Amino acid sequence: MSSRKPALNLSTINPSIINVHYAVRGELALKADQYVHALADKTEEAKSLPFEHVVTANIGNPQQKGLNQVPLTYWRQVISLLEYPDLMNEHLEIAKKIYPEDTIARAKKLYEEIGSVGAYTHSKGVLAIRKRVAKFIEERDGYPSDPESIYLTAGASAGVSSILSIALKKGEGCLIPIPQYPLYTATLAYLDAAPLPYYLQESADWSMDHETLLKAVSEAKTAGTPVKALVIINPGNPTGACLSKEAMEAVVTLCYEESIVLLADEVYQTNIFDPEHRPFHSFKKILKGMKKEIADTVELVSFHSISKGVSGECGRRGGYFECVNIADDVMEQIYKMASVSLCPPVSGQVGVDLMVSPPKKEDASYATWFKETSLIQDNLKSRSNLMAEHFNKMDGISCNPAEGAMYLFPRIHMPQKAIEEAKKRGKEADVMYALDLLDATGICAVAGSGFGQEPGTYHIRVTALCPETAEFVGRFEQFHKDFMAKYA
Ligand SMILES: Cc1ncc(COP(=O)(O)O)c(C=O)c1O
């Protein structure tokens, strides 16, 4: 037997990795996967399960098997032509039979700009695409945008972790909303930086409370932690809340006064349910509308993605970030770090192009694109409303209806006996609830503790993406009744 000791074990690898937690793909998701495989393989375990299929309500991945959001035809047509360019040349006659004219023209133009999708591009992403992103931002906000300040990325996640790792030194603080999408706590743990939680107010539709923010800043100062960055997710994950203009201005003012860089995660900007009553405003627009001293100085990085919205192209890995008011020498460092990973995935870059520049009304593809995207928006909104309505009818659950994004975050008013039982099992009570829910119904949700929550409160995050909403709600309700009766 070799006496060689493995170079890698839990005490020799980077300790920061051990501190990384990511609930969305944690214990529950692994168990759900195990059930999916057991059911597919019709194993002995499957025979004993009280459900026939697993409902994936744990992750905002619309095209996932079981959720089955249909990819937008226009996207897949353009992308397929770029993947097989012969269809635009010697096989053009065949292509003309299946692809609308404008799709072929769009793919040809992109092909001229990019060339083969198998080649590296500029590290910031293809310039022509960045120019169209800048135009999209200008039209959205009414303020100029510079393509040189825009980076295409492998999803928003890659952009967020790159910017956090550039902005924060070990031990420095980053304000994060609680509850939050765990990308932030996970990345900060990896960087050995300090997450500084500020609580969102559930009793006020998950809005931000300025006093709470100020308190978080002053506590960090007292503890000697420099406050370097502030993360804000708007519309919110997991809360589904969309911020008011006033709340956003207050955040920008704080960043101005305290010299904090503002990181705005705006990946759900097109998933807005009631745009008249609660429209989405970008932080860029709010910032640029403030007095010059603020507009020209507060550093902002905002993130967007093709994984959400109406495209739901999570696996393609496309997104971008825009830097505003970042010093030139720091911009050089951002560029250097982007160069280290050569370039973002080209098919993700193409996705960004299609997101920011969809077919126009006069194009042959428009009618189909409009029909498909409207259906996706309508489904999301009606499922979300229906689920919130039903949650609120269940004894022991209260749920703020979502204003946007893809999730609901109902609060479980946990019986004391359930809390004690969870303690015995060595788990948080909402983790026990979510595990029992999965075992009893096949519904895979995420426990609120994975996102952070006010101590003493318990939540569950579910996506509003399941096609069989009525069945989902029915199964959930039965489980919840049984759970509450068991621990009454
Ligand atoms: C708030 C938020 N930001 C970022 C991401 C990551 O998105 P991407 O797939 O673009 O990396 C997600 C994914 O669910 C998210 O909810």
DSSP class per residue in 14-66: -HHHHT---GGGSHHHHHHHHHHHHHHTT-HHHHT-S-SS-EE-SS--TTSTT
**Which band of pLDDT confidence, cut at 50, 70 and 90, is reported for residue 28?**
confident
- Residue 1's pLDDT is 66
CA 7–ligand 1 middle distance (angstroms): 34
Q: Do 408 and 397 form a contact (C-beta atoms < 8 A)?
A: no
Q: Do 273 and 402 form a contact (C-beta atoms < 8 A)?
A: yes
What ranges do the domains of the chain cover? 15-69+372-486, 78-118, 120-356
For residues 25 and 269, the model is more confident at: 269
Q: Compute the average pLDDT of residues 159-188.
A: 94
For 277, residues 6+ apart whose C-beta sits below 8 A from its C-beta are none
- Residue 4's pLDDT is 87
Integer CA distances (angstroms), 249 to 207, 254, 286, 288, 323, in order: 13, 9, 7, 10, 18
- Residue 45's pLDDT is 84
DSSP state of 453: -
What is the rounded distance in angstroms from the CA atom of residue 5 to the CA atom of residue 8? 9
Instruction: Evaluate the CA torsion angle 180, 183, 189, 193 in order and state its sign.
Output: negative
Residue 320 pairs in a beta bridge with 152, 304
Q: Compute the average pLDDT of residues 209-226.
A: 92
Q: Does the Cβ of 237 fall within 6 Å of ligand 1?
A: yes
In the predicted model, is pLDDT for residue 323 greater than 80? yes
Q: Compute the average pLDDT of residues 27-35.
A: 88
Ligand 1 pocket test target in 181, 239, 408 with most atoms within 8 Å of CB: 181
Q: Which fold has domain 120-356?
A: Aspartate Aminotransferase; domain 2 (3.40.640)
In the predicted model, is pLDDT for residue 371 greater than 80? yes
Q: Compute the average pLDDT of residues 192-214.
A: 91
Ligand 1 pocket test target in 307, 407, 461 with most atoms within 8 Å of CB: 307
**Which band of pLDDT confidence, cut at 50, 70 and 90, is reported for residue 23?**
low
In the predicted model, is pLDDT for residue 58 greater than 90? no
Query: Which residue's entry shows tokens 């006496």?
Result: 3
- Residue 467's pLDDT is 81
Ligand 1 pocket test target in 267, 320, 352 with most atoms within 8 Å of CB: 267
Q: Which range, 45-59, 112-126, 194-208, is most confident?
A: 112-126
- What percentage of the chain exceeds 70 in pLDDT? 99
What is the rounded distance in angstroms from the CA atom of residue 334 to the CA atom of residue 301? 12
What is the rounded distance in angstroms from the CA atom of residue 101 to the CA atom of residue 106? 9
Lowest mean pLDDT among 56-70, 172-186, 274-288: 56-70
Q: Compute the average pLDDT of residues 351-378.
A: 97
End-to-end Cα spacing for the chain: 57
- Residue 64's pLDDT is 87
In the predicted model, is pLDDT for residue 271 greater than 80? yes
- Residue 25's pLDDT is 66
For 153, residues 6+ apart whose C-beta sits below 8 A from its C-beta are 125, 159, 162, 303, 318, 319, 320, 321, 344, 348
Q: Whose CA is nearest to atom 14 of ligand 1?
A: 60
CA 156–ligand 1 middle distance (angstroms): 6
Q: Does the Cβ of 155 fall within 6 Å of ligand 1?
A: yes
Q: Do 298 and 287 form a contact (C-beta atoms < 8 A)?
A: yes
The overall average pLDDT reported for the chain is: 93
**From the alpha carbon of 155, which atom of ligand 1 is closest?**
10
| Amino acid, res. 70 | V
CA 346–ligand 1 middle distance (angstroms): 19
For 350, residues 6+ apart whose C-beta sits below 8 A from its C-beta are 78, 79, 82, 110, 114, 117, 129, 318
- Residue 6's pLDDT is 87
449, 455, 459, 460 alpha-carbon torsion, rounded to 10°: 0
Task: Report whether CATH 3.20.20.70 matches the domain 15-69+372-486.
Answer: no
Which tokens hold the place of 314? 């999570």
**Which band of pLDDT confidence, cut at 50, 70 and 90, is reported for residue 119?**
very high
